[in-house]
Amino acid sequence: MALAGIKIVLVEPAGPMNVGAIARVMKNFGLTNLVLVNPQCNHLSAEAMKMAVHAKDILESAVLESTLPAALQGCVRAIATTARVRDWQTPMENPRTALPWLLEEPEKSSALIFGREDRGLSNEELNYAQRFVRIPSSEIYPSLNLASAVGICCYELAQQANTTQPQTSQPTELAPLELVEEYYQQLESLLLNIGYIYPHTAVSRMEKFRQLYNRARLTTKEIALLRGIIRQMEWAINHRHQ
């Protein structure tokens, strides 16, 4: 049951054989929710179906979305996979230690995000995740095939789902990611209005705020508090000369 709410999200997959192999390995380990963001191949092609073998139903029920935020609708937790070490405050984690976090609220949806076969996820796409996983591999040849990376993570999730003990205390109920995204848009609008950021620097400056708040893992009540502050600031700005 814990695995039922986890989405495997592939951003712009280009290889139908990879997508088919991913469907197969998902079914091997009990995951069923495949989401394709702007796929660059036909996930229902003969090649994909051949690789899926007895997991054709995973391909047939796959959800297609045009953007990553749309794919994350309804999720409260998101982990992104990346092979590159980035100069961010958020640490890179091992799948075995990070992925159990996706299972802490089994009644709510979570997402595990994978990037393109050739270049992974962009910095902008990584900003939608709260934690980051890097699969340890040999320095001689560190690059993993996409289906292999998904398979390793699915295995770790299945192992954790089978061994996780009942929670002795209530896990933190995180805010839905679409609600967090609405806050970021509201914050960016305010910061542009007061001149703290400018249109040509907004993306890079907001990236820092996203990293800060993603580390905080905000709850719904905390988002409401922050949005209330912004609304009051906007009111004060609009009435300052009255």
Q: In whole angstroms, give the CA distance from residue 6 to residue 3.
A: 6
The yes-or-no verdict on residue 223 having pLDDT over 60 is: yes
Is 52 a domain residue?
yes
The amino acid sitting at 194 is: I
Task: Among 136, 163, 190, give the residue marking a domain's end.
Answer: 163
The yes-or-no verdict on residue 53 having pLDDT over 70 is: yes
The answer to whether residues 76 and 171 touch, using CB atoms and an 8 Å cutoff, is: no
- Are 210 and 187 in the same domain? yes
State CA 88 to chain mean position distance: 17
Structural domain span for residue 134? 2-163
Task: Among 130, 163, 196, give the residue marking a domain's end.
Answer: 163
The yes-or-no verdict on residue 217 having pLDDT over 90 is: no
Say what the pLDDT of residue 166 is.
Answer: 46
Task: Among 133, 163, 193, give the residue marking a domain's end.
Answer: 163
Is 32 a domain residue?
yes
Decide which of 112 and 205 is more confident.
Answer: 112
Instruction: Report DSSP state, residue 74.
Output: T
pTM of the model: 0.85
Say what the pLDDT of residue 1 is.
Answer: 61
- Tokens matching residue 43: 């996930």
Mean local confidence (pLDDT), 134-153: 92
Instruction: Return mean pLDDT, the chain.
Output: 91
Decide which of 98 and 241 is more confident.
Answer: 98
Domains contained in the chain, number = 2
Query: What CATH number is given to the structural domain containing 194?
Result: 1.10.8.590
